[in-house]
Amino acid sequence: MDSYFNEKTSLDKIIKTFGGLIEGFKEAFKNEVAFRQEFYLSLILILAGFLIGETEIQKTLLISSIIMIQIIELLNRVLGNTLDKILFDNHSLLKKAKNIGNAFVFLSFGNAFITWILILFF
């Protein structure tokens, strides 16, 4: 009986997954203006997080709060694009789902704002 760890398919899966990750990132960067703007701002804020944070915990909180914005923004875009493909008409559930996705993004910005304010001023 062959071991699962001896199979080369697990490495192949990792390589294919990484390729898909790069393609998805390129697609989002190319087609989503808000993602590009937030990405550039995130680069600046992540660098600032490294410089501002006095302890490793502070640096981690500052940086992860910014990265969370990017993650939630991508999830919101996926949700919106998927719903646009599935529901062709302007259904009330479509509007509700998109509004909830926008609320997620807003909450992630609020989380980052509160995190930065608390670490900078308290």
Q: Is 73 a catalytic residue?
A: yes
Q: Are 33 and 72 in contact (CB under 8 A)?
A: no
- Give CA torsion, residues 59, 109, 79, 75, to 10 deg: -10
Q: Which of 35, 103, 113, 43 is nearest to 70 (CA)?
A: 35
**Dihedral pair phi/psi, residue 105, rounded to 5°:** -65, -45
Among the listed residues 7, 32, 38, 73, the single catalytic one is 73
Positions annotated as catalytic residues are 73
